[in-house]
Chain A
Amino acid sequence: MRSRLAFAVALAFAAVGLATPVLAQKQGGTLRIYHRSNPPSASIHEEATIDTVQAFMGVFNNLVVYDQTKPLNTPETIVPDLADSWAWDATTTKLTFKLHPGVKWHDGKPFTAKDVQCTWNKLTGKDPDDFRKNPRAIWWHNLKEVTVNGDLEATFVLNRPQLSFLSLFASGYTPVYPCHVSTKDMRTNPIGTGPFKFVEFKRGDSIKFVRNPDYWKAGKPYVDAFEWKVIENRSTRILAFVAGEFDMTFGTDVTIPLLKDVKSQAPKAICEVAPTYVSTNLIINPSAPPFNDPKIRQAMALTLDRKAYIDTLSGGIANVSGAMLPPPEGVWGMPPEMMEKMPGYSTDVEKSRAEARKIMEGLGYSEAKPLKVKVSTRNISVYRDPAVLLIDQLKKIYIDGELEIIDNSIWHAKVTRKEFAVGLNLTGIGVDDPDVVFYENYSCNSERNLTQYCNKDVDALIDKQSQELDKQKRQTIVWEIERKLAEDLARPIILYDRAATCWQPYLKGFVLHHNSIYNNWRYEDVWLDK
């Protein structure tokens, strides 16, 4: 019996071995990817765009990182990076990282715990050479201080327990910066500990990196060089990928309609569709009459036909969603049957609109006497197209919208100054975690809370879920917050879009993440099987 079992086990191992042949990574070659535009700067900490993080993540390391070989970002897929290990103290207010020894910055200087302390001092405004802009400052609002113990240990002291604090470190947005390089230099000539050394950034042309020969992860990266070519014209860059000029497209650059073209012209290309975790959302200025009347805002929520958006904009494959990305990719989002019960999410749109019309009629509006409003948005097609649909849907409830295209440069300035009544906006999420989504977009103290929505009860609930150590209990609070946000019409999420990323079949070792577009661009596992 025992020998039979041993034989069966041996056979099973042999079968697994045969079924999944292990490919030996090939060293060498230049990884070539196109970039859709010029990154605003090379400093990941100062930007909130994939344009920077995708191009420059390979220069750096984090303390921990989401496993680059697994598609979902969850607390379970966090793996060591510069920190070999980490541990919470008994009060869950001190998180200690043991750092990897012998790591060097690209300029040869040693990496120490002081660099970790320095980075977070800059992020919390405690360093005189702080960042000129700090879009994710709210992520670290619970951080009291960073202490060091020798060169290889750093401890993050929190004001209160926050279990998902570790997740913040795993994002592509959270690299460790060197103490000895100024924030200005990090924008133009970044120095990291990562697999690729920065060579040059020629605006409008290319960004070049070379393999870091002293990279502390032995054998990595596999490619000798890494080159981005900036191609702003979408037709040109897609044609160039089809022609084999590039090994990979820019992340989520291939829209669903374009995907058909790519697949027909380059049938061997591997294309994967995933949520972008960039939401299309409706912003209403509650201080601009008559939108200070919650009834009008409620009517607006009732007219939203999310399915129409999804069918028109993404060929029917995007997700209806609340603030959190829904399953299966989203870890914290509501299941569809629960979402349908939220205010404004009913699938019976006609019934909802009849209700909305009643509200509007009660306020004195009718087909003959509509409410005239400007619907403001940015001069980019992904903003303009849903804004046009919004105007169409508002018409059904006696709101006569006029599209107001705002110059890109002043969009955020205008929104911050509340110089709008109704707007259409897009918001990207860095980490699929309620702390990131809620604190960044809905907390009273966040600079990125565009509509300056502020509900102290919601803030209290956000803090409560953040401190909750039990996942099930936390999820219940998260869904309660979702419902409150829907009731308050705090930036109603219309949809989370999906798009494709394509790569050539000879590009190996790349895994697309499915619940964030900001965390899997290290490229240290990528190799070219040419």
Chain B
Amino acid sequence: MGAYIVRRLLLMFVTLIGMSILIFVMLRLVPGNITDIIFDSAGFVNPAAKKKIEKQLGLDQPIAVQYITWIGGLMRGDLGYAYVSEKPAIEEILPRIPVTAKLALLALVFSTMFGVPLGVLSAVRQNTWLDYVLRVISLSGLSLPSFWLGLLILMAFVHFLGWIPIYRSDTGSIWQEFVLLSIPAAAVGFRSSALVMRLTRSSMLEVLRQDYIRTARAKGASETAVNYDHALRNAVLPVVTIIGIEAAFLIGGLIVTETVFNIPGVARFLVEAIRWRDYPIVQNLVMFIAIIVVFVNFLIDMMYAVLDPRIKYEE
């Protein structure tokens, strides 16, 4: 197990190095850089002034030198300065992480709380009216575009309640913040829970047809014990995988929700930074997301062994 963990950690490190090179190169392949954007808002381009700014920002250096400068700083915990705000990149990135983390956590709780039990229910009541209703709900969750659902929610709030649940940083209490974040979280969680529900259902159906389930029933185990103690525990492995992937996605993939509900989170900020070619922000933020994804995947792998005793990470 120990050797496996060390191997995985090394692999994670290599993956992250690869990611850093990829994002660094890809960013520079996108046409234009920050100086083009700076001049765009002034409605003209002055080539001499543009060159001067490029020099100030180190953009005139060879790409390898720029990479080493960035990665060296990253290793020392120095993320550099954001090009647009001219503030330390860390000051720009850090305040956004808790906002997105809270939203992602709430969305994840929502999707798990609804997705897993309803998926189980749908499986054990297969081909009943309840199963059909739940399947329609899950299908609609997967089909509805997030921006459309988000706008529908906003319009409904404005029309029926006369207020709009967009993000405010000065909510005053944790409860109010919870209420404000839970609405977009529900919008995101609806899609996510639909995915979890469908996967739980199919996984449960497969497990419920196994011989050991029939054996458990023959031994007189109650339906609850059969469904939850015997079936669910074995059916949950793919569900855990998908929840893990969703968790990683939610950190950087909530662009539509963050835009519609005006949440100043990581995803919206990342897109804006890409638009502005704000390399220090994009590079560091993508690396942060990559670390989260790699780490969550590692945790999921570790959880397999805990959830299923048949899985052992040995030499």
**Hey, which chain B residues are within 8 Å of A412, CB to CB?**
36, 39-40, 43-45
Q: Does A206 contact B (CB under 8 A)?
A: yes
Complex: A68 Cα to B158 Cα, angstroms? 33
Q: Does A235 contact B (CB under 8 A)?
A: yes
Q: Which residues between 202 and 231 of chain A lie within 8 Å of chain B, taking CB atoms?
A: 202-206, 229-231
Q: Which residues between 183 and 204 of chain A lie within 8 Å of chain B, taking CB atoms?
A: 184, 187-188, 201-204
Q: Which residues between 11 and 68 of chain B lie within 8 Å of chain A, taking CB atoms?
A: 31-33, 36-47, 49, 52-53
Q: Does A71 contact B (CB under 8 A)?
A: no
Q: Does A47 contact B (CB under 8 A)?
A: yes
Q: Does B87 contact A (CB under 8 A)?
A: yes
Q: Which residues between 414 and 455 of chain A lie within 8 Å of chain B, taking CB atoms?
A: 416, 427-428, 447-448, 450
Interchain nearest-CB distance for A103 vs B (Å): 28
- Which interface class (under 10, 10 to 19, 20 to 34, 35 or more) fits B? 35 or more
With contact pairs A133-B39, A412-B40 given, residues A236 and B45 touching in the complex (Cβ less than 8 Å): no
Q: Does B70 contact A (CB under 8 A)?
A: no
- Once the chains bind, are A450 and B42 in contact (CB under 8 Å)? no
Closest chain A residue, CB of each to CB of B82? A203
Query: Which residue in A132, A229, A242, A407 is a CB contact (below 8 Å) of B31?
Result: A407
- Once the chains bind, are B43 and A239 in contact (CB under 8 Å)? no
Closest chain A residue, CB of each to CB of B45? A416
Complex: A244 Cα to B92 Cα, angstroms? 30
Interchain nearest-CB distance for A484 vs B (Å): 23
- Once the chains bind, are A236 and B262 in contact (CB under 8 Å)? yes
Q: Does B97 contact A (CB under 8 A)?
A: no
- Once the chains bind, are B259 and A410 in contact (CB under 8 Å)? no
Q: Is the interface of A mostly helix, strand, loop or mixed?
A: mixed
- Once the chains bind, are B86 and A236 in contact (CB under 8 Å)? no
Q: Does A291 contact B (CB under 8 A)?
A: no
Complex: A203 Cα to B276 Cα, angstroms? 12
Q: Does A92 contact B (CB under 8 A)?
A: no
Complex: A237 Cα to B95 Cα, angstroms? 23
**Hey, which chain B residues are within 8 Å of A244, CB to CB?**
162-163
- Once the chains bind, are B87 and A245 in contact (CB under 8 Å)? no
- Once the chains bind, are A240 and B32 in contact (CB under 8 Å)? no
**Hey, which chain B residues are within 8 Å of A411, CB to CB?**
40
Complex: A52 Cα to B84 Cα, angstroms? 14
Q: Does A370 contact B (CB under 8 A)?
A: no
Interface 9-mer from B130-138, B222-230, B267-275:
B267-275
Interchain residue pairs with CB less than 8 A apart (7): A46-B42, A135-B42, A203-B269, A204-B264, A239-B158, A240-B262, A412-B44
Residues of B within 8 A of A (CB): 31-33, 36-47, 49, 52-53, 84-87, 92, 95-96, 151, 154-155, 157-158, 162-164, 166, 169, 259-262, 264, 268-269, 272, 275-277
Beyond A202-B169, A408-B275, A447-B45, 4 additional pairs, beta carbon < 8 A: A40-B84, A236-B166, A239-B158, A409-B33
